[in-house]
Amino acid sequence: MVRYITSKFLYMLVSLLILITATFFLMKAIPGNPFMSEKQVPPQIRERLMEQYGLDKPVIVQYGQYLKNIAQGDFGISMKMQNKEVTGLITDTFGASLKLGLVAIVVSLVVGVLLGLLAALYHRRLIDNVAMVLAVLGIAVPSFVVASMLQFVFAQKAGIFNVMGFNGPLDYVLPVAALAAQPIAFIARLTRSSMLEVLHADYIKTARAKGLNWMTILFRHVVRNGILPVITYLGPMTANIITGSVVIEQIFGIGGLGKVFVSSISNRDYTLIMGVTIFYGVILMLARFLTDIAYVFVDPRIKLTNRKEG
């Protein structure tokens, strides 16, 4: 286990380095720079600025300098928002995104698993059909369409919620619904098919032959085995929700990290783009990693070992 974790950690560092490198050069390939604005700035001032941020040097030198800085934990200061540190900007705004994301993850899991379980238990009956139609819709319709429709129906027409803003608990409802729609749909389908398989498994017959009552069988034998594939999906789901939040925060005017990310790109705010990318990268890798660990606890057949040889 310890060896597994350390080796996994090393792999994560390597992927992170690749991520940083790719982002850095792609970012530099975009035309323009932070100080090209519509306002005419005298060339001297611009040169002065470029010099101050080291942008006058060759790209490869900048890259080396950047790596050196982040190795020391220095992510620099924003090039657009003066005197704001990148780390500060991330920690300030990530709170809102985290709250939104966590609620969306929990809602996706609970609703998705419940829907899938009900669909499996009432296989080929009304609940099943309704759940699966919803699931197909959820997978097919992109989250920004869902978001706009929710805004239109529940905020604009019915007036139950605010169209935008992120202040009270009620403000969570629409963004969470928009974010969770796709994961719910996916989890529901995943759960349904795996529960159906488990319900017909021989060991369920064994459990019934022992004289256990149906509720015991359902919770002790069916759900635990049927939930395994959902755990595999936890990693990708986190990715889904995080990338989804970039769009959703914009639509609902939530001042989260997603919003910062989008504006940093349009501003060519180099240090901020890098900082947020690295931050997202780390979160996604951690999510995958935790998924692997979680699997060990639920499925005893899986043991974490290093398989370097073979």
Q: Where on the chain is the footprint of another protein (CB under 8 A)?
A: 201-203, 205-214, 216, 220-221, 224-225, 228, 298-301
- Residue 194 CB, shortest distance to another protein, in Å, is 13
Question: CB of 218: closest distance to another protein in angstroms?
Answer: 13
Of 53, 49, 24, nearest to 36 by C-alpha is 49
Which CB sits closer to another protein, 120 or 274?
120
The smaller minimum CB distance to another protein, of residues 47 and 299, is found at 299
- Least distance (Å) between residue 193 CB and another protein: 18
Measured between alpha carbons, how far is 244 from 182 in angstroms, rounded to an integer? 10
User: CB under 8 Å, gap of 24 or more: what pairs does 127-134 form?
Assistant: 128/192, 131/188, 131/192, 132/188, 132/189, 132/192, 134/185, 134/188
Q: Which amino acid is at 95?
A: G
Which among 93, 19, 91, 25 has a CA at the least distance from the CA of 246?
Answer: 93
Residue 141 or 228 with smaller CB distance to another protein: 228
- 157, 155, 182: which is closest to 252 by C-alpha? 155
Compute the distance between CA of residue 78 and CA of residue 45 in angstroms, rounded to an integer.
Answer: 18
CB nearer another protein, residue 52 or residue 216 = 216
Distance of CA 146 to the CA centre of its chain: 18
The distance of closest approach from Cβ of residue 200 to another protein in the complex, given in angstroms and rounded to an integer, is: 10
Structural tokens at position 256: 């989260």
- Alpha helices by DSSP H, 58-85: 59-71
Q: How far is the CB of 246 from another protein (least distance, A)?
A: 37
Q: Which is nearer to another protein, 3 or 125 (CB)?
A: 125
Three-class DSSP category at 212 = coil
Closest distance of CB 184 from another protein, Å: 25
State which residue, 28 or 123, has the beta carbon closest to another protein: 123
